[in-house]
């Protein structure tokens, strides 16, 4: 029997309660698909600051180094909002963990089930059949990490701040190779988003993406779009995109846009994949829901557990190679929604159920 080794970092707010559901789902699924889980929980985010003085405590980082994947909850909340930006739980936990594990690829599936299409802010006829798009965002390069990155005082006394956007070919190649693999499992189309009419990094990006697709799979239908146009096209007709491939900051912005047009953050999962490979030759990864900590409903048993559960599905798929088990989770979530169950965030005025009721329905629907 296969043993899945991963840490759980539930974090703050609703993190712990939705993480509980995800673990129950994995436990049940293990019986059906013949795997066991070996997991331990660790502090991250605000609770890391409270208990260890750091959003990403050393003990948490060490524990993560011993496993094949991280199932992440969500971090932050009003209690830590007044800290300086660099110490805020989100930034101080997520950016160093991405760097520590070389998590260069961020996959954010934008899924809207047709049953929930009323949740989307887009026009009904645009989303009648739902949305199914995958955003592949480069996560450890570009303007987020480039040097110099500093604020200095000029001779005349005014301040000047600099961020630097840097990309090298190898960084663009590895994310493109991943986008190609993802597109091969979908409809074989990649739209690469850049700003090649203005930015040097984008000129290199476009050239490298073209060469890389030519080399690895010339059958991929590759197109290119400037980022301003892509932002517009995404609301005009989101389903024109199969895989959206883009650099770090453009991906940050476009993936939030994709999330909102999909209606509920409570339904969206994400995967961040690293350079390290585990024993099975699969990538180490961090899996997290797209939504936040929802402090207003934390601890009340009202949170939507779907995004956390779907993040666990991505973990099975990408870090453990268990495609069947991953699909089983995704189908169980779909089935639970189809049966009419809705947590408050997706209830649209109907009668909402709680976290456990939604979780139990998902568990019952696993096949």
Which residues belong to the active site? 144, 195, 228, 252, 256
> Using CA atoms, how far apart are residues 226 and 353, in angstroms rounded to an integer?
42
Interface size with Mg ion, residues (CB under 5 A) = 1
Cβ atoms of 318 and 273 closer than 8 Å: yes
Containing 345, the helix (H) or strand (E) segment is: none
Please identify, using beta-carbon distances, which residue of 90 and 194 lies nearer to ligand IPM.
90
Cβ atoms of 91 and 85 closer than 8 Å: yes
**Integer angstrom CA distances of residue 18 from 27, 34, 106, 263, 300:** 14, 24, 21, 19, 11
- Contact range with ligand IPM by CB under 6 A, out of 62-70, 87-95, 122-130, 322-330: 87-95
Would you count residue 247 as binding ligand IPM (CB under 6 A)? no
Query: Which residue in the block uniquely carries the two structure tokens 């770090």?
Result: 248
* Site pattern 222..261 for Mg ion (x: CB under 5 A): ------------------------------x---------
Q: Count CB neighbours of 39 within 10 A.
A: 15
Q: Taking the complex as a whole, how short is the minimal distance between the CB of residue 94 and ligand IPM, in angstroms? A: 5
> Using CA atoms, how far apart are residues 195 and 202, in angstroms rounded to an integer?
5
Please identify, using beta-carbon distances, which residue of 93 and 337 lies nearer to ligand IPM.
93
**Which SS3 state, helix, strand or coil, does residue 18 take?**
helix
Would you count residue 68 as binding ligand IPM (CB under 6 A)? no
Please identify, using beta-carbon distances, which residue of 252 and 335 lies nearer to Mg ion.
252
User: Which partner in Mg ion, ligand IPM, none is near 242 (CB below 5 to 8 A by kind)?
Assistant: none
Q: Which residue is nearest to ligand IPM (CB)?
A: 90
Token pair in block for residue 304: 């939507």
Please identify, using beta-carbon distances, which residue of 290 and 302 lies nearer to ligand IPM.
290
Cβ atoms of 104 and 141 closer than 8 Å: yes
Q: Binding ligand IPM by CB under 6 A: which of 17, 43, 90, 138?
A: 90
User: Which partner in Mg ion, ligand IPM, none is near 91 (CB below 5 to 8 A by kind)?
Assistant: ligand IPM
Sign of the Cα torsion 311, 315, 318, 322 reads: negative
Q: Taking the complex as a whole, how short is the minimal distance between the CB of residue 269 and Mg ion, in angstroms? A: 14
Residues that bind Mg ion (CB under 5 A): 252
Residues that bind ligand IPM (CB under 6 A): 90-91, 94-95, 252
């Amino acid at each position: 029997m296969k043993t899945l080794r991963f840490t759980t970092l539930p974090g703050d707010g609703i993190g712990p309660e939705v993480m509980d559901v995800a673990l129950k789902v994995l436990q049940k699924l293990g019986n059906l698909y013949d795997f066991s889980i070996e997991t331990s929980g660790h502090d991250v985010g605000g609770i890391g600051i409270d208990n260890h003085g750091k959003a990403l405590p050393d003990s948490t980082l060490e524990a993560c180094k011993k496993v094949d994947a991280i199932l992440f909850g969500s971090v932050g909340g009003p209690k830590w909002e007044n800290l300086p930006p660099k110490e805020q739980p989100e930034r101080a936990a997520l950016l160093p963990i991405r760097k520590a594990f070389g998590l260069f690829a961020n996959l954010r599936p934008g899924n809207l089930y047709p049953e929930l299409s009323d949740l989307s802010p887009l026009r009904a006829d645009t989303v009648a059949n739902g949305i199914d798009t995958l955003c592949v965002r480069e996560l450890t390069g570009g303007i987020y990490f480039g040097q110099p990155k500093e604020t200095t005082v000029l001779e005349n006394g005014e301040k000047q701040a600099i961020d630097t956007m840097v990309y090298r070919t190898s960084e663009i190649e590895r994310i493109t190779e991943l986008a190609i693999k993802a597109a091969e499992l979908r409809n074989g189309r990649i739209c690469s988003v850049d700003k090649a009419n203005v930015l040097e990094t984008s000129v290199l990006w476009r050239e490298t993406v073209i060469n890389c697709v030519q080399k690895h799979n010339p059958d991929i239908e590759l197109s290119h779009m400037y980022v301003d146009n892509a932002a517009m096209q995404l609301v005009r007709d989101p389903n024109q995109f199969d895989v959206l491939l883009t650099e770090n900051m453009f991906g940050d912005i476009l993936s939030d846009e994709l999330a909102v047009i999909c209606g509920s953050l409570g339904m969206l999962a994400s995967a961040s994949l690293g350079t390290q490979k585990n024993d099975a030759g699969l990538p180490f990864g961090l899996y997290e829901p797209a939504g936040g900590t929802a402090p207003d409903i934390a601890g009340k048993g009202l949170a939507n557990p779907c995004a956390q559960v779907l993040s666990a599905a991505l973990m099975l798929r990408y870090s453990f190679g268990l495609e069947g088990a991953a699909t089983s989770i995704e189908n169980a979530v779909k089935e639970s929604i189809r049966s009419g169950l809705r947590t408050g965030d997706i209830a649209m005025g109907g009668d909402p159920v709680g976290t456990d009721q939604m979780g139990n329905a998902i568990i019952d629907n696993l096949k």
